[in-house]
Each structure stands twice: as C-alpha cells, then as structure tokens.
Amino acid sequence: MQKYNWNYPTTMWVGENRINDIAQACKNLNISKPLLVTDNGLAKTEIVKKTLSILKDNSISAELYSNVVGNPTGTNVNEGVESYHKNNCNGVIAFGGGSGLDVGKAVAFMSGQTLPIWDFEDVGDNWTKANSNKIAPIIAVPTTAGTGSETGRASVILNEETGVKNIIFHPKFLPSIVILDPVLTIGLPSKITAATGMDALAHNLEAFCAPGYHPMADGIALEGMRLINEWLLEAVNNGSNLEARMNMLTAASMGSTAFQKGLGAIHSLSHPVNALNNIHHGLSNAIFMPYVLTFNRDVIEEKVVKICDYLELKDKSFDGFVSWVLDLRKKLDMPHKLSDIIDENDLQLDRLSKMALADPSTGGNPKKLSEADMKIMYQHSMTGTLF
C-alpha cells in the first residue's frame, strides 16, 4: 500500500503502519511531553501500548488520560485538563473513536482558557472569547471510521448538569497532524464498524443535502458516499481487509470535512437521544436517516437523484435511494425503529423535541423545522412509519 501526505483540510499522514511516525509528528509540532487522551478500553490494547513505546523509544515521555466515556462529558474534559497541567504537558495526542478525539481536542483547547467550556458553545461568535494563543498543539489518531473528528473544528461534549450535548467550536480545534492508519482499525468489532460507518454516511449525506453554495463540500460528500457504498459492507464482513479499512477511514474524514457546509435533522434528533438514553451516535443516526430523508423529500429530491447517479444505483430515484439505505441497514443487521432499542416509556418526547430543535445542526436542515416537526419524526421513528 502506497503512502501519501495530504494537506486538506489539514496535514494528514495516510497509510499502513503510519502510527510508526507518531514521534516524528510530535517533533514537527515541538511536543516534548504529550498527553495521550483515549478511553479505558483502548488504553489496555496493544495499539496504545505500541504507540507509547514508539514515543518512549524516541525519547518522548507521554502521559495517559483514559477515563473518556462513550458520550464524553464535561467531567472528562476537566479531568484531562487537570492531568495535562499536573504532568506539565505541552501537546495532546487525541487517540481513538469520536469520544477520544473530541475530548482530546477539548483538553488541548481548554488547557489555556479561563472561562468554562460551555461559554464556547457553537452559538454566534462565542469562539472569539477564547485565548487563541494558548491552545495546545493537537495530533489526532482515529481508530474508528465514523465521526471524522480528526478533520473537524468542534467537539461534542455532554453537559451533565443540563443533560444536553453541546457543540464546542473553535477554528484551532482542527488537529495540526492527523494519522490515518488502517491497521489501528483492524480489531474493531463488526457492530461498531457498522455503526461508525453509518455515522460517516450521515455526515456526507447531510452535508450534500444542506442548503447553500459549497461545491467543494458537495464533491467531497459525493465521493465519501461512493466509498462507503463500495467498502462499508466489506469492512464489516471482512474486518482484516486493509483496503476496506483505509477507504472507510478516508470516507469518515471526508464526511467531517464536507459538513463544514452543514448537517441537519438526523443529527438534531440523535444528539438528545445520545445524551438522555446513552445510545451510540452512529446507531441513532442510522435509525433516523430514512425518516429525515422522507420528511425532507420535497426539497432534496433532485439532490438525492444526483447521489443515485454518482453511486450508480440501479433505481436512480428518491425512492430508490431510500430503499438503498434501508437495504444497507438490513445487511448491517441494524434496527429499523427507535423502539427496537428504547422502550417507549423511557422516551421523553416533549423534552427530546425541544432539545432537537435547539441543536446547532438544525439550522443546516434543508427544510425549516419546528418543535412539532421534531416530535413527529421521533414518533415515526418509534412506529417505523416513513412519511
């Protein structure tokens, strides 16, 4: 497998065993004592042990923070910042799935701030309150192919006091060096591979359907969806296929790059369910996808037909694309209804609908939304009724 160096939207070192270059990445950014941020499960794996060993062999002493949870919290960020300062670190290696990457980026950001993290929620120009000169350098190493957080300028962090997932944004959240190494994803279980792959699809799909003029994002999103169409099932069914793993890692990074254009109601509906019911983000995105597509049909049908053309689907129509999504979920053994994973009695519909409407992703939806619209989509996702 050939190796490449990409520079859009940031420097990306791509290819098999590129983790061996982690020490060089630190040296390029003048990081002499990094804090490696990851989750507890990954911290016990050989890939993290190998990474720490590579750093040590190159005279770089790394510290480890590994309390990150599946839907990462403000507490995770605060603990990470405390560990960063306690150990006199001067850079962050954000390592893992979306949770590890989001917390690692937030730790690097908050290591130099005096205001609470919630003051930097992605609303208006909140990001301008930050001291931009005191954001630590970030290296991102994804081990799942889903969130694309390695190429994003934000972190999604759960505020435990409010029960709301907040999007924290700053342009310098973007890691300076990204290492995309498919070897690190080989051990990912098939169910997580499937869920994270559907997350990547949701990013590319919503970015393409978002209103506004951004041909670069549209082109990236289309190609991201083509890669997912070609390689997701193979990555799930044959997890040792490095080519499939590499293409899915690429598609995930492309999704995050593309959604600079915007997201939409798939994410608006997902974030509250992730926060209140602790459901995996990729899984909830997969469930909500057809309900949001059919709700938005009258304003996105022409764009969806273009996706069908590019993916070379047999049925190049809106209904054909929805059928492709439903068939893909079925092949991935994913539920069709939210009620398959959440009891109706545990679903706080009114609260969820309010939270979904307030979610920053809502503004990118192709159709203007109301709280009633959110409630209807939640209800349809519980019953399995498409619009």
Residues 218 and 158 in one domain: no
Residue 162 CA to residue 155 CA, distance in Å, equals 17
SS (H, E, C) the chain: CCCEEECCCCEEEECCCHHHHHHHHHHHCCCCCEEEEEEHHHHCCHHHHHHHHHHHHCCCCCEEEEEECCCCEHHHHHHHHHHHHHCCCCEEEEEECHHHHHHHHHHHHHCCCCCCHHHHECCCCHHHHCCHHHCCCEEEEECCCCCCHHHCCEEEEEECCCCEEEEEECHHHCCCEEEECHHHHCCCCHHHHHHHHHHHHHHHHHHHHCCCCCHHHHHHHHHHHHHHHHHHHHHHHCCCCHHHHHHHHHHHHHHHHHCCCCCCHHHHHHHHHHHHHCCCHHHHHHHHHHHHHHHCHHHHHHHHHHHHHHHCCCCCCHHHHHHHHHHHHHHCCCCCCHHHCCCHHHCCHHHHHHHHHHCHHHHHCCCCCCHHHHHHHHHHHHHCCCC
Q: Are residues 84 and 198 in the same domain?
A: no
Containing structural domain, residue 333: 190-383
Kindly compute the dihedral angle of the four CA atoms of residues 351, 356, 357, 360, in this order, to the nearest 10 degrees. 140
Residue 68 backbone class (left: φ over 0; alpha: ψ -120 to 50; beta: rest): beta
* Model pTM score: 0.94
Per residue in 44-86, pLDDT tens? 999 999 999 999 999 999 999 999 999 999 999 999 999 999 9
For residues 175 and 199, membership in a common domain is answered with no
Which pairing describes strands 164-169 and 154-159: parallel, antiparallel, or unpaired?
antiparallel
- What CATH number did the domain enclosing 63 receive? 3.40.50.1970
Which among 133, 167, 184 is the end of a domain?
Answer: 184
Residue 4 has pLDDT above 80, yes or no: no
Q: Domain boundary at 160, 184, 208, which?
A: 184
- Measured distance CA(92)–CA(99) in Å, rounded: 14
Q: Are residues 158 and 221 in the same domain?
A: no
- 114 CB contacts (<8 Å, ≥6 apart)? 131
C-alpha 91, offset from chain centre: 22
Kindly give the interhelix angle for 371-383 and 281-295, rounded to the nearest 10 degrees.
110
pLDDT bucket at 240, cuts 50 / 70 / 90: very high
Q: Which residues contact 128 (CB under 8 A, 6 or more apart)?
A: none
Q: Are 206 and 166 in a shared domain?
A: no
> Are residue 149 and residue 252 in the same domain, yes or no?
no
Whether 162 and 217 share a structural domain:
no
Spatial distance between the Cα atoms of 94 and 42, rounded to a whole number of angstroms: 12
Are 46 and 157 in the same domain? yes
What pLDDT is attached to residue 324?
A: 98
- Do 103 and 202 belong to one domain? no
The pLDDT, as a whole number, for residue 224 is 98
The edge-to-edge listing of strands for the beta sheet with 91-96 is 4-6, 11-14, 177-180, 138-142, 91-96, 34-39, 63-68
**207 and 276 part of one domain:** yes
Q: Provide mean pLDDT across the span 124-133.
A: 94
Burial of 148 (0-12, 13-18, 19+ CB in 10 A): buried
Give the pLDDT band of residue 267 (cuts 50, 70, 90).
Answer: very high
Of 8-12, 17-21, 133-137, 267-271, which range is least confident?
8-12
pLDDT of 8 reads 78
Query: Domain boundary residue among 165, 184, 203?
Result: 184
Q: What is the pLDDT, as a whole number, of residue 387?
A: 82
Residue 141 and residue 269 in one domain:
no
What's the number of domains the chain is made of? 2
- 378, 245: one domain: yes
Residue 324's CATH number? 1.20.1090.10
